[in-house]
Amino acid sequence: FATLLDQFSKRLKDHFAGWEIFVLTADMGLPGHLRMKESKRTPLFNGPLECRLFKFEIRGRTDTQKS
């Protein structure tokens, strides 16, 4: 799962810099797994399940991050 999130994060940063995405998840550690800082965090409930709606403003990777 960690590999999938790492690849997802790299793909976002390489191809979608300047975009915003929203992710609804019960995993409160998602921003850390993606190595991205959320710009907004909204608490929600999906039935009885406590979730967060994270907003991320995608920034491109630097040259040192691409190596």
Can you tell me the mean pLDDT for 29-35?
93
**Domain spans, the chain:** 2-60
Tell the burial category of 45 from Cβ atoms under 10 Å away from its Cβ (0-12, 13-18, 19+). exposed
> How much of the chain exceeds pLDDT 90, in percent?
85
Residue 31 φ then ψ, to 5° = -55, -40
C-alpha span between 54 and 39 (Å, rounded) = 8
Q: How much is the pTM? A: 0.81
What pLDDT shows up at residue 65?
A: 63
Residue whose C-alpha is closest to residue 30's, from 9, 58, 59: 9
Burial category of 54 from C-beta neighbours within 10 Å (exposed 0-12, middle 13-18, buried 19 and up) = buried
Band (67; pLDDT cuts 50, 70, 90): low
